[in-house]
Amino acid sequence: MRRRPAGPALTVDAVWLAGDRILLVRRRYAPFRGRWAFPGGFVEPGETVEAAVLRELFEETGLHAGGLRLLGVYSRPGRDPRGPTVTVAFRVRGPPCPPLGSSDAADARWVSLRRARHLAFDHDEILQDALRTRRRGMGRRG
């Protein structure tokens, strides 16, 4: 039997736009410690990406969301300094309640889109994709 090749790590990100604000977390740990990023993290064995994004969102912000919509898959080499990583990013929506930073997040808050710059990893690119899909009329709620 052939051995399965080692592949990239699988992660998820929750992209939650509410009006002119975006939900972000301040990273507690390296890489990018102290930088703002989307709530997200690694998919656990036996977990779907959909379950993982909702779990990570709750762990890092205390918020529940619904209305998952696939935003994109991001796999550019070098996008994560820890090694090869593939991220499945989802648009989520729900009532924009006040978040509470916990777990891997030192802080969590709704940030003005004008101030959401220089995000960790390739999250600036992911945010631009989310804004483009919103302008085309996809997923305007939440």
In a domain, 3, yes or no: no
Determine, yes or no, domain membership for 106: yes
Task: Note the pLDDT of residue 141.
Answer: 39
Between the CA of residue 90 and those of 4, 6, 39, 40, 55, what are the distances in Å? 28, 25, 11, 10, 13
- The candidate with the shortest Cα–Cα distance to 62, out of 41, 90, 39, 30, is 39
Is the model's pLDDT at 25 over the cut of 60?
yes
Residue 134, pLDDT score: 85
**pTM (two decimals):** 0.91
Instruction: Give the rounded percent of residues in the chain with a pLDDT score beyond 70.
Output: 94
Domain count along the chain: 1
Helices (H) and strands (E) in the chain, counts: 2, 8
Let me know if residue 117 belongs to a domain: yes
Is 23 a residue whose pLDDT tops 70?
yes
Flag whether 1 is in a domain.
no
CA distances from 126 to 4, 6, 78, 88, 139 (A): 30, 26, 15, 10, 15
In a domain, 142, yes or no: no
Indicate whether 2 belongs to any domain: no
Summarize pLDDT for 52-89 with one digit per residue, the tens.
999 999 999 999 998 999 999 999 999 999 999 999 99
Domain that holds residue 118: 9-133
Ramachandran category for residue 77: left, alpha or beta (phi over 0 → left; psi -120 to 50 → alpha): beta
> Is residue 113 in a domain?
yes
In a domain, 138, yes or no: no
Residue in 29, 52, 27, 32 with CA at minimum distance from that of residue 42? 52
CATH number of the domain where residue 87 is located: 3.90.79.10
- Residue 1's pLDDT band, with cuts at 50, 70 and 90, is low
